[in-house]
Amino acid sequence: MAEVVANTVTAPWRVLWTRSNFEQLVYDQLAAKGFDLFLPHIESWSRRGGIRRRERVPLFRGYLFLRHAVDKLSYLEVRKARGLVRLLGERWDHLDVVPDSEVEAIQKLVHCGLPILPYPYLREGQRVRITDGPLADVEGFVLRVNPKKGLLVVSVDLLRRSVAVQLDCTVLEAA
């Protein structure tokens, strides 16, 4: 395979969407071809065979970042990677771009040595669904979001009444 050479200093960051648990495989294949990639990892607890252990897992499961000036040839080379679903964007010449400042912020967080936790991307007023626990599948609106607890409001429109419950925002997803 020919080495991929590009001016990555001025190239924008793109996002690669991978199959579940294929982030590292896609990273390894494309890094071997000379692409500039960023796959942020965090330490997480897992349980296998009844034993708890810490392991490195991707911060954004199913995604990694690519910094490359993408032309048709390099796009096709990236698409050949086993485990890749697609590059985010409409077409090869209209790919979505992640601002440098956002990727640089993630890079600084990953390298700072402080504990990092994934956090749901929720906005106040957003309709959400609870994914786990005794309230699984209940839908409502996020009234307040903070690192420990969010305030979920469930309304009965016909009665014009609402109830609220505080819960862990990590069990919420956009509805």
The residues spanned by each domain of the chain are 13-111, 127-174
Mean pLDDT of all residues in the chain?
82
pLDDT of residue 8: 46
Q: Is 170 helix (H, G, I), strand (E, B) or coil?
A: helix
pTM of the model as a whole: 0.68
pLDDT single digits (tens) 56-100: 889 888 999 999 999 999 999 999 999 999 999 999 999 999 999
Residue 153 has pLDDT above 80, yes or no: no
Give the containing element (helix H, strand E) for 23: helix 23-32
Residue 114: both structure tokens together: 């402080």
Pairing of the two strands 84-87 and 13-18: antiparallel
pLDDT band at 3 (very low <50, low <70, confident <90, very high): very low
Q: Under CATH, which architecture does the 13-111 domain have?
A: 2-Layer Sandwich (3.30)
Residue 75: both structure tokens together: 């796009």
Cα atoms found within 13 Å of the Cα of residue 92, Cβ hemisphere only:
10
Where helices occur in 33-134 by DSSP H, the ranges are 72-79, 100-111
pLDDT band at 147 (very low <50, low <70, confident <90, very high): low
